[in-house]
Amino acid sequence: MAAKPVNVWDYERLAEERLDPGAFGYFAGGAGNEWTLGENVAAFGRLHLRPRVLVVVGTATTETTVLGQDVSMPVLVAPTGFHRLAHPEGELATARGTAAAGTVMCLSTPASASPAELAAAAPEGKHWFQLYWPRDRGFTGELLAGVVEAGFGALMLTVDFPTAGRRERDIRASFRLPADLPLPNLPVGLGTGDFHAALSEMVDPTLTWRDLEWLRSVCPLPLLAKGIMTAEDALLALEHGAAAIVVSNHGGRQLDGVPATVDVLPEVLEAVGGRTEVFLDGGVRRGTDVVKALALGAQAVLVGRAVVWGLAAAGEKGVRHVLELLRAEVALALTLLGCPTPLDVGRAHVVRAR
């Protein structure tokens, strides 16, 4: 593709051209029939915006706050593993590009950079840490001490991963990790065989809501529960001290057949009743997707694959450009909706298509 990429879809095509098919399949793929993967995107198309006209918006600002931290836009970078499969500089390039765009990057547990390395690469960046909780509690405690020491702003516990979903693209391609891939946030290597199985083996499968108490006792950072898909679990998360909730189905990579995240967002928001901020990820490819989520009541969204496509296409610059494109799309959508700021977008700005 010769022309300059102008949106996230263009970056996806570029990434597909640049990556070897196994790595592209790892990033793009979902579980089972990939029905949920498709639904995450399709569901945004079933929500229609209701603009208000002849409103003097001036220059709309996309700036907002997440857990009290200022960010340039209501779009954060979701945790995604193994960025060195997309670009040799891996997570360090993602961190620099995200810092330049003025938003939060969530560092994934299966990353090739430690929290300290990430902070050193992008000292002006805002970083959160995503935890896959290992069986080894001693290791987990030390890892989290490093997260706090590196100045990270929040801890995001992924609650929808007692074991990996079945990713058939990786099975077909016999996709394997390079033997020399550093994974400093894991207590064990993932080997050169089935890395989804190895990661599943590493995660503690006995965790229950009660374990959040231990997590909060060893880590003073605000705790987000990522992977909530029901009102019941949203309430349990709050009861056990979560400071915020991330409505997520892991980008359609875990239980195929669950609904699109934007379809369950209202149920979760109703249960939470404004007590904490609620975030959403899954299927966000456009600024208009972002404002639809805001209109339903999300504080912000996170983007996973969109950023990986930028990284694969052009490293740090690509990450920054993807995020800047999304920011400009959000600013335009706010202006055309008649909303000067993200907080002005409300329920009256969106309607479900009949």
Binding site for ligand FMN (CB under 6 A): 27, 40, 78-81, 108-110, 130, 158, 226, 248, 250-251, 253, 281-284, 303-305
Q: Which is closer to ligand FMN, CB of 227 or CB of 338?
A: 227
- Nearest distance in Å: CB 285, ligand FMN: 8
Determine which one of 83, 127, 250, 349 is catalytic.
250
Distance CA 327, CA 324 (A): 5
Q: Which is closer to ligand FMN, CB of 203 or CB of 271?
A: 203
> Is 250 a catalytic site residue?
yes
- Nearest distance in Å: CB 57, ligand FMN: 28
- Nearest distance in Å: CB 263, ligand FMN: 14
Q: Which is closer to ligand FMN, CB of 98 or CB of 109?
A: 109
Mind spelling out the 3-state secondary structure of the chain?
CCCCCCCHHHHHHHHHHHCCHHHHHHHHCCCCCCHHHHHHHHHHHCEEECCCCCCCCCCCCCCEEECCEEECCCEEECCCCCHHHCCCCHHHHHHHHHHHHCCEEEECCCCCCCHHHHHHHCCCCEEEEEECCECCHHHHHHHHHHHHHCCCCEEEEECCCCCCCCCHHHHHCCCCCCCCCCCCCCCCCCCCCCHHHHHHHHECCCCCCCHHHHHHHHCCCCEEEEEECCHHHHHHHHHCCCCEEEECCHHHCCCECECCHHHHHHHHHHHHCCCCEEEEECCCCCHHHHHHHHHHCCCEEEECHHHHHHHHHHHHHHHHHHHHHHHHHHHHHHHHHCCCCHHHCCHHHEEECC
Q: Which is closer to ligand FMN, CB of 226 or CB of 349?
A: 226
The residue number with the shortest CB distance to ligand FMN is 304
Q: Which is closer to ligand FMN, CB of 67 or CB of 199?
A: 199
- Nearest distance in Å: CB 21, ligand FMN: 15
Q: Which is closer to ligand FMN, CB of 222 or CB of 282?
A: 282
- Nearest distance in Å: CB 248, ligand FMN: 4
- Nearest distance in Å: CB 302, ligand FMN: 6
Catalytic center residues: 250
